[in-house]
């Protein structure tokens, strides 16, 4: 009688590959849980030293079902993928936001159904544009050790936090360079809305200032002409918060921001005026908690 053991049966444990996840992998999955979708280029610049290392790691994450991936048909580069949470990623983030068009919709039946909702969203290109802004900031911190993105909130997260005021920014962040910390709300503009509708969004920010911070509202615009038209519309117009504009494709951490109240010089992001609100004076240690929200990328 042979003493050989029978072959080990394939494991049915859906969590068996979690031991292969590195801290960087887990950080990426947490971003996908909140921000739905990131491109190969965005992930590479935010987390990896080279295109090759990013592709190798993302291929492994796809094989162990941590992420799903889809060819980005709008990209000139045929190796550009769009990544969302896969079955394993969703098991680790069961409360992940599900539908960018309708956050109140019932959770999808599967990771593929969730991905279909995201890829079919009318907000897809807008969503990638917003995420490009934040991954550019994170990429900046990798070569500038005195800079730090402490907070990166999605539209849904920001709306949940500030929805009582009626605002619905595309994102919210907390940015520090050396000893200067600036909060901001992002309005990513693709030029598809009339300027009157864009300007109408500013009225709701008045209510935020009544109980919370007075953070600058950042308008990222698709062209110099669109920026010029917005600046002209805001000339001499009182606004409840500082308003700053910049054109897409520029380094958001750099000296690219035009403050509408003082348009004659460009400013870095950390040079914009920012008031953290009435609670900052009574709790000087409130910024410490932000470190736990956004681990520093490797």
What local confidence, expressed as pLDDT, does residue 98 receive? 83
Q: Is 134 helix (H, G, I), strand (E, B) or coil?
A: helix
Residue 36 CA to residue 15 CA, distance in Å, equals 21
* CA-CA-CA-CA dihedral for 106, 33, 131, 159, to nearest 10: 50
Read off the CATH number of the domain in which 26 is found. Answer: 1.10.10.10
pTM: predicted TM-score of the whole model, two decimal places = 0.89
What local confidence, expressed as pLDDT, does residue 185 receive? 96
Interior angle at CA 63, CA 6 and CA 9, nearest 5: 15
Element (H, E) at 199: helix 195-200
Q: Where are the beta strands (DSSP E) in the chain?
A: 38-39, 67-71, 81-85, 147-153, 171-177, 180-188, 217-221, 243-247, 257-259, 266-267
Q: Are residues 134 and 55 in the same domain?
A: no
Q: Are residues 147 and 209 in the same domain?
A: yes
CB contact at 8 A, 97 and 213 = no
- Kindly report the number of other CB atoms within 10 A of residue 43's CB atom: 23
Burial of 26 (0-12, 13-18, 19+ CB in 10 A): middle
- Domains contained in the chain, number: 2
Does 39 score more than 60 pLDDT? yes
User: pLDDT category, 287, cuts 50, 70, 90?
Assistant: very low
Q: Are residues 217 and 230 in the same domain?
A: yes
Of 115 and 75, more confident = 115
Across the chain, mean pLDDT equals 87
Domain presence at residue 3:
no
Give the residue numbers spanning the domain of 163: 125-293
Q: Is 57 helix (H, G, I), strand (E, B) or coil?
A: helix
């Amino acid at each position: 009688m042979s003493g050989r053991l029978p072959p080990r049966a394939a494991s049915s444990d859906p969590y068996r590959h979690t031991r292969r996840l590195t801290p960087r992998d887990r950080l990426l999955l947490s971003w996908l849980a909140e921000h739905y979708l990131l491109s190969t280029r965005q992930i590479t610049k935010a987390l990896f030293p080279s295109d090759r290392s990013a592709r190798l790691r993302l291929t492994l994450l796809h094989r162990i079902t941590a992420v799903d991936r889809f060819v980005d048909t709008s990209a000139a580069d045929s190796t550009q993928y769009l990544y969302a949470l896969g079955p394993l990623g969703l098991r680790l983030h069961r409360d992940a936001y599900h539908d960018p068009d309708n956050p109140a919709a019932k959770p999808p039946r599967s990771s593929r159904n969730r991905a279909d909702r995201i890829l079919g969203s009318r907000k897809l290109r807008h969503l990638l544009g917003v995420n490009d802004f934040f991954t550019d900031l994170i990429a900046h911190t990798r070569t500038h050790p005195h800079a730090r993105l402490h907070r990166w909130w999605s539209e849904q997260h920001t709306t949940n936090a500030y929805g009582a005021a009626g605002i619905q920014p595309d994102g919210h962040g907390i940015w520090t360079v050396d000893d200067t910390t600036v909060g901001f709300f992002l309005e990513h503009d693709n030029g598809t809305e009339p300027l009157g509708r864009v300007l109408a969004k500013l009225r709701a920010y008045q209510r935020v200032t009544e109980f919370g911070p007075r953070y600058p509202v950042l308008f990222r615009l698709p062209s110099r002409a669109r920026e010029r038209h917005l600046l002209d519309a805001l000339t001499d117009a009182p606004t409840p918060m500082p308003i700053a504009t910049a054109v897409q494709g520029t380094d958001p951490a750099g000296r690219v921001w035009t403050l509408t109240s003082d348009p004659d010089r460009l400013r870095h992001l950390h040079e914009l005026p920012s008031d953290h609100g009435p609670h900052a004076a009574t709790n000087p240690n409130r910024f410490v908690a932000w470190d736990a929200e956004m681990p520093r990328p490797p």
